[in-house]
Structure 1
């Protein structure tokens, strides 16, 4: 086989070998269990198969039977007072057991027309649970976390995390992988903490982790980099639904980017998470608010706004308050509170009344539903924070504002007491159907709202960050775990309710949540704690035992293999090529994008009717700064599963599609980066093998193996021969992108090395964290 085709075989294996994250059922593990747990064995079955008709939603409850509460399950049946749904210790006297084992369609539960059916193993679990007394438990996520005794572990463990993961591995008959190679750990930690690949100099410095250049020193240095805040901010920008336009049909420009600058600043300065949440929810209501704390409240204002004439002001104002409520409940509390907007929640203990009590905290903002149509440019909506030049030299010095004009940002502002609105339960959630008035409050099943707290957003923030709140710390720790391992300890990161996934390591989740709070809600400490663990430091090698026993790596007997987020793929290409402009913050940029995409999906009005590509250094910024138009998000990012930012999202998928390979092979940014790196390496090295070796190390962040060096060298020679024999193809190949092409670079060697580098960028390993 020729060098050309053998290398393409390697390349295509990389291109189409990207794995997608699998999914798992929320059903409990149906194995032999001595002691049945309601939370971990029974409740998931009832939630999936029974609660829609016999759960919290009173309007949809059948036969007056409620199975989600102990009282409802044990009281006499309304339609047959001599019988009981459950009789502790006696399955045969329990109507539930009778109905789920009946073959009579008129009695069978779930009813045949529901298309739901219990497995035999699920029926056996319910039977055994009834025999053991049918004990109910509060939903695990609504119980205050506590630190359980740390399990024993082998000498393999490096910190407390490993004791919990080791216990689960042993229960499943698994052994942890050996530790990863030093270059693998350097790359992995660098990508996790900064989103950037380590340079060859960093790889050389920390090789072997000897003397003062320890692994801990590496983590400390990465956590101190400005790029740390840029990496972690991507998670929160998804949660806060950040974008650079208003959405809806006209989708005009808005200037919320100073909020992004604040977010990066907050993470880099390690603002404690309880303060981080408080400022964003209610920074304007603090006793002595500053422009920084007020700026943080832009978190609440990142939702879509209409600029279309003829709309009803109150309809859209209500829509905006709903969005704030849902973003808080999903992003901070990890619950699906929005399901109770139109009726009582079907699965979780949240009533429609409680939904609008939560809604009431956000209902007194001074914002309007409609402030004018697209014909009047409004980069911010009332209430507005104005940023003056003097602010940029003072409390807001982290804002990267390139000119001397004032900045306007949409933030929060509260109505005076005499102006305050009355909040009503809205019939079916419709804006013009008010029913009963309600006061601000929170779901009692999570934590009662204390009378000592102010009934405004500041009180809500204090309730959310109260150490007795069972959700806030758990949810954030789980999000960070998801960022590192690809899947949270609770897989359904935005749903800790009854339909959400059970935690794979419940004791570990609770231990981390309590430890996080006990240590000042310190985000950098939490990340260092996770990255210091032996669990994190394992090799990502996959064995047949792994695939057979734990194909989704739930029990963490190996490090995960994860494709990088969309933004960090761009970052890796630009950084390894030397093109990356590492300027922090500032307005969003418009890099290369296919022609005509905006024009095909716009009303033709407003500043964003046509895509105007930037030039110069704006083309080489990190992916976090790419301009996001809500109606037409950046196509390359969407192809690589980025959030489209039109609503709060707490996790991204990882798909595997041919379009991804198409992007990596044809994107002007990738081709331009390859061309620029080729020119640089040809200037630096007279020897082609040395140039290839450095390119490999900069892109894949490890030394080449001998077999790889031979294969790639042969491919280079093949391409060199092609360009020498077809000199007319050299300039068209190199003339891509706006970075200046020097006359002396238009030669066969530069073009051949460029093709090698493009191929390296397209290997699976390049854009995979392993």
Structure 2
């Protein structure tokens, strides 16, 4: 890197720091919450026992001490094995309860948890357990395994704040805590938030101007309808589902060859855009091949089950890897659709949730009858693009039933899908999870703790889907509603998106979760309606301003007294840059593309065999496609995406990390896509021949999506002046401007062009640019 580029980088950092300095907030610790009037086993007691007691007195028989279980009422109430005159719990009598005596004892010989465990109960936790015993020490069924019922709408004081039912539940908790919600965000920030959340793209200048000028009572509702009806909505909604479905463009493992699974991605985008009901969306993916008079579209949807990694390595044991594929499908089903950690019962009974190893392999049996093998074909040939069972998509298909598939050539196109064998393959408990260590034979079934598998359903994947959408299933609607909520608020009502079990987090607003789940089912699993419901609420429309008081009482914003503020997903970081600069090619679907990437990454990380041995960068419009279309090679995923916490798609992922690292800042300063976008936008603005302030204001609005403050314009204008002086003194403008392949107009002064490019790069590097606020 030459000295000039280092100087530019440091200067950009300084400009960014000045503009962002006023946005910093103090941090404080949360005040301890008071003891509730009524103690709930599920919401107050069980989390304490799970963290501090179940390791020795829980479900795991191998680690259980003194033959005492505290996770089952009958076991906790009965006489102790070593002291028949004593009981662990005596309802209404803390003093007679051995549990309370030991957790309050200072005698190291009897105190619990023992010192050797390095666990200790807080005074608040001890008070909760004491009050629970005084109130009868009542146990409850796990909340997530009880079918949701429509709760009563809470009575609240500040009815003027309410916009829909969501707000009643949120405001009820806030009023209990004596906290007032934030006022509604200003129109510019609200529009940016809604546009990024619903379409993954910043609003256009025309949309901003139209919304700011619309003073009608339903102005926001109209803009929400416009955003939801945009084709970009399907791409934004699909982004999360691709993580869930572990979609990628390569098979994984050492050779990691190419797979042509992208038509399934086109279908997912299409399904979201046409607002396919969730029950149908999932049924087609689980069992489209088993539907009566099934179509090619329904068969294509089953690619969901075949997105897992597939080996092509010589010398592997065929059956071992076939079992691995079935295991992946089983685990994905549990995590994605039930939010139950089924995989914990792969080798033994679940340690915490009521799921036995036998029940795990009963679910496994649903996915064990696919006509597939563990190892197929050789590396490098076109036959490796998809693995049997598969379907071919012809040009005739694209003209008729599969019009949504963006197939632009006449080459053979094949996709891995599901195909049920005519003879039912036997399924067994696999002792210790070993593929060839068969135990008891099992039939297809489901965990009884969730919902018994009724004999009215066929014992295949179609029957499993019917079970999933049985109105008595306690998990399906709750889990999806929670995933959608996460996409708009940054965290779910249940924070542990993939674990509604005993070790998962409790819902922050349990009544709201149940109300949304039941309402979702009542309205025929309508996803667009759910999205509109969420973004129309006063809860969503709040300002993201954080007062010192709210930072102290609720730093994680669990109570939702303000709008969330966090960085957009990795793919949308790219989309913001391309869209605001005018580079974005908005074509929907098609094969994945290979944008700019540092040289040598693929070559140094895999076997060197096959079609993906070397990274061959694309050119032309392929360089400017949305982030959702970036090529994902599992062993070497796109580095810029990884820096911003994207999934490498090895396994089902329902929740991405949210990190804030120096690498992210370096990426925004040095990524060729960002620098190219800065160059192209600068070229466009200079050709308009407006004033410096007007150019900077327009760039700021395009990128940050609001009008800049006077001070911000002054800082950026001064930086532009400094840049002009530097380039006029002889700094090589050509060197700065040569980044990227998009052709320059050749109609603007190079010095002015390089200077304005630097200003725009600084704006792209503002935290606010890629942050929901």
TM-score norm. by structure 1 comes to 0.96
* Residue 391 (1) aligns with residue 397 (2): yes
1:271 aligns with 2:276: yes
Give the direction of change, closer, same or farther, for the CA distance of 1:203–1:636 in structure 2 (3 Å limit).
same
Give matches, 1:682-697, under 5 Å: 682-697=686-701
Match of 1:553 in 2: 557
CA positional deviation for 1:13 = 5.9
Checking the alignment, whether the CA contact within 8 Å between 2:28 and 2:551 is kept in structure 1 is no
Out of 45-54 and 194-203, give the one that drifted further: 45-54
What SS is found at the alignment partner of 1:96?
A: helix
Alignment pair present for 1:282 and 2:287: yes
Within 5 A, what are the aligned runs for 1:296-315? 296-315=301-320
Describe how 1:424-435 pairs up with structure 2 within 5 A.
Answer: 424-435=428-439
- Tell me if the contact between 2:9 and 2:669 (Cα under 8 Å) persists in the aligned partners: no
Task: Say which is worse superposed, 112-121 or 254-263, in terms of deviation.
Answer: 112-121
Q: Does 1:150 align with 2:156?
A: no
Deviations 1:248-276 (A, max 9, x none): 11100001101100000000010001111
Residues 35, 128 of structure 2: 8 Å contact kept = no
Q: Which runs of 5 or more residues in structure 1 are unaligned? A: none
Q: Please list the CA deviations of residues 440-474 of structure 1 after superposition, one character each: whole Å capped at 9, or x if unmatched.
A: 11111111111111111111111111111111111
Q: How does 1:191-230 map to 2 (within 5 A)?
A: 191-211=196-216, 214-230=219-235
1:365 aligns with 2:373: no
SS in 2 for 1:601: coil
Taking the aligned partners of 2:674 and 2:747, their CA distance within structure 1 comes to 21
Pick aligned residue for 2:494 from 477, 490, 493? 490
Equivalent pairs, count? 763
SS at match of 2:428: strand
SS at match of 1:424: strand
Q: Counterparts of 1:690 and 1:371 in 2: how far apart (Å)?
A: 61
Work out whether residues 15 and 762 of structure 2, in 8 Å CA contact, stay in contact via their aligned partners in 1: no
1:6 and 1:719 map into 2 onto residues whose CA distance is 10
Deviation (angstroms), 1:80: 3.9
Match 1:471 to one of 472, 475, 478? 475
Task: Determine helix, strand or coil for the equivalent of 2:429.
Answer: strand
Question: Partner of 2:5 in structure 1?
Answer: none
Question: Partner of 2:656: helix, strand, or coil?
Answer: coil
Q: 1:147 touches 1:511 (CA, 8 Å); kept in 2?
A: yes
After the TM superposition, which residues 8-407 of structure 1 pair with which residues of structure 2 at under 5 Å, given as runs?
8-12=13-17, 31-153=34-156, 154=158, 155-211=160-216, 214-377=219-382, 378-407=384-413
**Following the alignment from structure 2 to structure 1, what is the Cα–Cα distance between the partners of residues 105 and 715?**
66
Partners of 2:680 and 2:643 in 1: CA distance: 25
Distance 1:375 1:195 in 2: 36
Using the alignment, how far apart are the partners of 1:103 and 1:444 within structure 2? 42
Matched-pair contact (CA < 8 Å) for 2:683–2:744? no
SS class of match (1:600): coil
**What is the CA distance between 1:745 and its match in structure 2?**
3.7
> What is the DSSP-based 3-state SS (H/G/I as helix, E as strand, rest coil) of the residue aligned with 2:392?
strand
Deviations 1:422-447 (A, max 9, x none): 11111111111111111111111111
**C-alpha deviations, 1:616-638, integer Å up to 9, x for none?**
00000000000000001100001
- Stretch of structure 1 that moved more, 505-514 or 738-747: 738-747
CA contact (8 A) 1:731 1:746 kept: no
Q: 1:563-602: per-residue Cα shift (whole Å, max 9, x none)? A: 1100001001000100000000000000000111111101
Q: CA 1:355 to 1:613, structure 2 compared with 1: closer, same or farther past 3 Å? A: same
Specify the SS of the correspondent of 2:86: strand
Q: Retained in 1: the 8 A contact 2:406–2:590?
A: yes
Q: Which moved more, 1:651-660 or 1:106-115?
A: 106-115
On the 8 A contact 1:540/1:560 being kept in 2, the answer is yes
Shift in Å, 1:105: 4.4
Q: Map of 1:693-708 to 2, 5 A cutoff? A: 693-708=697-712
Instruction: Say whether the 8 Å CA contact 2:366–2:459 is kept in structure 1.
Output: yes
**Aligned pairs for 1:442-521 within 5 A:** 442-521=446-525
Q: Structure 2 CA distance, aligned partners of 1:343 and 1:122?
A: 32
Contact 2:489 2:563 in 1 (8 A): yes
String of CA shifts for 1:510-552, please: whole Å, max 9, x gaps.
Answer: 1011001101101100010111111111111111111111111
- 1:671 maps to 675
Deviation for aligned residue 1:8: 4.6
Quote the offset at 1:15 in angstroms: 8.3
The whole-number CA distance in structure 2 between the counterparts of 1:4 and 1:315 is: 52
Task: Report the Cα distance in structure 2 between the residues aligned to 1:366 and 1:111, rounded to whole angstroms.
Answer: 54
Deviation at residue 113 of structure 1 after TM alignment: 3.0
Structure 1 range deviating more: 6-15 or 346-355: 6-15
Structure 1's 62 and 356: CA in aligned 2 closer, same or farther, altered over 3 A? farther
d(CA) in 1 for partners of 2:605, 2:698: 43
Match of residue 743, structure 1, among 746, 757, 760: 746
Superposed displacement of residue 31, structure 1: 2.4
- 1:709-745 CA-to-partner distances (Å, cap 9, x unmatched) read 111111111111111121x511111000011134334
Alpha-carbon spacing, 1:255–1:16, altered in 2? closer, same or farther (3 Å)? farther
Question: How far 1:92 sits from its partner (Å)?
Answer: 2.8
CA change 1:664–1:237 in 2 (3 A) is: same
Give the CA deviation at 1:421: 1.4
The one of 561, 567, 571 equivalent to 1:567 is 571
Q: Is the 8 A contact 2:35 2:124 kept in 1?
A: no
Could you tell me how far apart the structure 1 residues matched to 2:28 and 2:138 are?
Answer: 30
**C-alpha distance 45-78 of structure 1, shift in aligned 2 (>3 A):** same
Deviations 1:78-114 (A, max 9, x none): 4444432222122233232233334454544333333
Structure 2, unmatched stretches of 5+, are 1-7
Structure 1: distance between partners of 2:12 and 2:235: 35
Q: Which moved more, 1:120-129 or 1:355-364?
A: 120-129
Task: Give the C-alpha shift of residue 118 in structure 1.
Answer: 2.0
Aligned to 2:662: 658
**Aligned in 2, Cα 1:189/1:30: closer, same or farther, shift over 3 Å?**
closer
Quick one: distance in 2 between partners of 1:380 and 1:769?
39
From 530, 533, 538, give the equivalent of 1:534: 538
For residue 704 of structure 1, give the secondary structure of its aligned residue in structure 2.
coil
Partner of 2:4: none
RMSD over aligned CA atoms reads 2.3
Deviates more, 1:111-120 or 1:609-618: 111-120
Query: Is the 8 Å Cα contact of residues 110 and 116 (structure 1) preserved in structure 2?
Result: yes
Instruction: Quote how far apart the aligned CAs of 1:208 are.
Output: 4.5
Q: CA deviation at 1:115?
A: 2.6
Tell me the distance in 1 between the aligned counterparts of 2:450 and 2:141.
10
> In the alignment, is the contact (CA less than 8 A) between 1:4 and 1:718 conserved in 2?
no
Using the TM superposition, give the Cα deviation of residue 641 of structure 1 relative to its aligned residue in structure 2, in angstroms. 0.6
| CA distance, structure 2, for counterparts of residue 23 and residue 240 of structure 1 | 39
Contact 1:253 1:607 in 2 (8 A): yes
Displacement of 1:557 = 1.1
